[in-house]
Structure formats: C-alpha cells, structure tokens
Structure 1
Amino acid sequence: RLYAIGDVHGRHDLLAAMHRRIETELEYAPATDWRIIHLGDYVDRGPDSKSVIDFLIEAQKRDPRNIILAGNHDIGMLDFLANAEPDGLFMNYGGVQTAQSYGVDFTRDMHWFGKAEAVAR
C-alpha cells in the first residue's frame, strides 16, 4: 500500500494528523507492505517548518518505510543556506516563516558584503 503526502509547507499539524489517519488505517486494515512517500515542499509559508522537518526525521528513524524526497522549496532553503540570495525562491515564498520557526527573524533592509541581503537579527 502506498501513501503519498506532498506540499506540507510548514503545517506540522496537518502532517501529524495525516500520519495518525494512516496509522489508524493500517491498524484496522493491515497491509503486508506499505510505504509513506513524502513528496517534498516541507518548508515555507506555514508556521512550523522546523517541526515538520523534525517530525519527518523521527518518522524515518522509527520506520524506514517513510520515504522522504526533497521538493523545490526544500532545495531553495538549502540553496539559501549555501548562498543567501534576497530574491531567491526561499525569501520570496515563505522563507521568513521558515526562519521564524527556527527562532530566526529576518529583515530585508540590511546589507551583507555591500549588497542587499536578508540578514538574521
């Protein structure tokens, strides 16, 4: 049995609820084999990207049948960590909310290395 979950975008509450529903289904209608395929876009927009990432790490540790793929927003976050671009995917589509879930507050009016960048206060 395959379950596919995508575009969580920082909504830990909805991801946890989906996992509870899957666990309930597997309890009442067991499958000889199953996988939960997480299709990416865990971060950005929603209020709790950090909890989403933490939840997925723990889910995969508990059971390797949790398959976790990276989406474009996840790659955008990694790209931002490697090279902070103020006008990249991460900053323009929810990076501020993602950073806040990690306790980082961004402002766009500061400068790094002589060019406008997003800077953690």
Structure 2
Amino acid sequence: MAEMGEATAGNRAVLCIGDIHGYVSKLRSLWSNLEVVVGFDSFATALVIFLGDYCDRGPHTREVIDFLLALPSQYPRQRHVFLCGNHDLAFAAFVGALPPPPDGSPFAATWAEYALNEEREGWFKGEGYEAMHVQGRRWGG
C-alpha cells in the first residue's frame, strides 16, 4: 500500500488508505498498526477514506473486498468512504458491471496505445481479454 495518511477533522481522526491491490495480509497488518498508533479511542471513531485500487497484482482481491465490506459492522462508530480507483474501474468493466463506452468502441480499444509494451509488461491474454481495458483510462483520463 503506497499511500496512508492521518489528519484530524475537529475531534475525529481522518485516515486515508490507498493502493491495497489484493494484499489482504498487508491490509490487516496496516489496520492493526493504525489502531495502535492512532489510539483505540480515536481509531474507533475515525473517518477512514479508502482511495481505491483494491484489486490487481496481489492474490487476494476477494478477501480484501470481504474485509472492507465487514468494516461498518465491526467498527460501527467509524465512518467509511470507499472511492473507486482506476484498477477497480477496469475490473468492473471486465466483469460487465459498467455500460459500454458511449462512443461504441470496445473496452479493449484502450490497449492499442500500449501494444508496443506488451512483451515487457506481460499482460493478461486469457479468457475475457477482449472485454478488458487498461486501468480505466477511458474514464480516468
């Protein structure tokens, strides 16, 4: 996880966590460390903003999502905000959760500009490749 920060909003701690990328063990470790560093009382009422990129790279995307979905019931006094990152947007397109681009182009059209780097990058070419696009670049700029 490349990003983690803390601030206060009034009397409430504000925690920002980003780039989990499917590494649930690192997320659990970070969560435990934050609870200690921030202090149990402040942590219990913190505003926790997740900056996206929950999936991709690490092997446990489902476990990361399960962990995040359980937070409101496990920490009812915290407030949780879940933002969508570019990897999450690409994953949503891959599983068919996004409508097709309004210009009628396929999601895979975003791969064309990166074709020269394909050998170096080792992109996924398995089942469903035709429906994927590169990290939500069509919407994320």
TM superposition score category, shorter chain reference: 0.5 to 0.7
Give the alignment partner of residue 73 of structure 1, picking from 78, 84, 87: 87
Instruction: Show structure 1 runs of 5+ residues with no match.
Output: 97-105
Deviation at 1:88, TM superposition (A): 5.8
SS at match of 2:126: strand
Show the 5 A alignment for 1:1-121.
Answer: 1-25=13-37, 26-27=39-40, 30-31=41-42, 33-63=45-75, 64-82=78-96, 107-108=126-127, 117=130
1:20-76 Cα deviation digits (max 9, x unpaired) = 11222322xx33942111110000011111111111001133235122111111111
Aligned length in residues: 99
- In the superposition, the TM-score normalised over structure 1's length comes to 0.64
Percent identity over the alignment? 31
Q: Which runs of 5+ in 2 are unaligned?
A: 1-12, 101-105, 112-117, 132-141
Name the aligned partner's letter for residue 10 of structure 1: G
Superposed CA RMSD: 3.3
Relative contact order: is structure 1 or structure 2 higher (C-alpha 8 Å, sep ≥ 6)? 1
Instruction: Decide which structure has greater strand share.
Output: 1
State the Cα distance separating 1:14 from its structure 2 match. 0.8
